[in-house]
């Protein structure tokens, strides 16, 4: 039995020196995934773009204005990793409904199959995965649960998220 090889991971650098950097990074991730011809629906691709935007935007805003993005297919899901040089930990929080920002990580937690972070050198890597669509009922339940997220989290992985096997010791 032969198995098709997994597509090679794609890595690239993003800086905020270009006002269009976030849009270009999101488009690059979407193009790479589309070229891989993965079994992802339009909804999953839309979720991938939104989560990519949120994680990269956080890195550019709260780190040194630059980050490194790595995208790969595990054979079951797409994983996006965003590495920055800031020791500031990701912290999803509740915000007023009128707030214009602050919902990014909560959106990632709601839309991604899993997400989390791990320390890396002087900074960290924030990651999330998107897989073939979950059932619509599960997705709706997760989004409705977004409104009930606690104001503080004591865990580096959002409740209900699956921790990649290699990170269980680091993120426990």
pLDDT in tens, the chain (172 residues): 446 789 999 999 999 988 899 999 999 999 999 999 998 999 999 999 999 999 999 999 988 899 999 999 999 999 999 999 998 888 765 554 544 445 688 889 889 999 999 999 989 999 999 998 754 555 555 556 555 554 443 334 444 444 444 443 333 3
For the whole model, what pTM was predicted?
0.74
Which residues on neighbouring strands pair with residue 81, listed in sequence order? 70, 127
Q: How many residues does the chain have?
A: 172
Cα angle value 87/25/132 (rounded, 5°): 95
3-state secondary structure of 125: strand
Burial class (CB in 10 A: 0-12, 13-18, 19+), 90: buried
């Amino acid at each position: 039995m032969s198995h098709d090889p997994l597509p090679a991971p794609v890595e690239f650098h993003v800086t905020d020196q270009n006002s269009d950097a976030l849009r270009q990074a999101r488009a690059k991730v979407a193009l790479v995934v589309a070229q891989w011809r993965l079994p992802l629906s339009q909804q999953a691709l839309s979720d991938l773009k939104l989560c990519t935007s949120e994680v990269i935007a956080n890195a550019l805003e709260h780190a040194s204005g630059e980050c490194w993005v790595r995208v790969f297919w595990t054979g079951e899901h797409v994983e996006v990793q965003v590495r920055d040089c800031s020791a500031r930990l990701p912290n999803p929080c509740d915000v007023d409904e009128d707030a214009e920002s602050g919902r990014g990580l909560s959106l990632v937690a709601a839309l991604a199959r899993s997400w989390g972070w791990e320390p890396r050198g002087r900074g960290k890597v924030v990651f999330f995965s998107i897989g073939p669509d979950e059932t619509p009922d599960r997705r709706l339940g997760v989004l409705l649960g977004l409104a009930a997220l606690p104001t503080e989290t004591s865990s580096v992985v959002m409740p209900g998220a699956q921790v990649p096997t290699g990170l269980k010791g680091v993120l426990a």
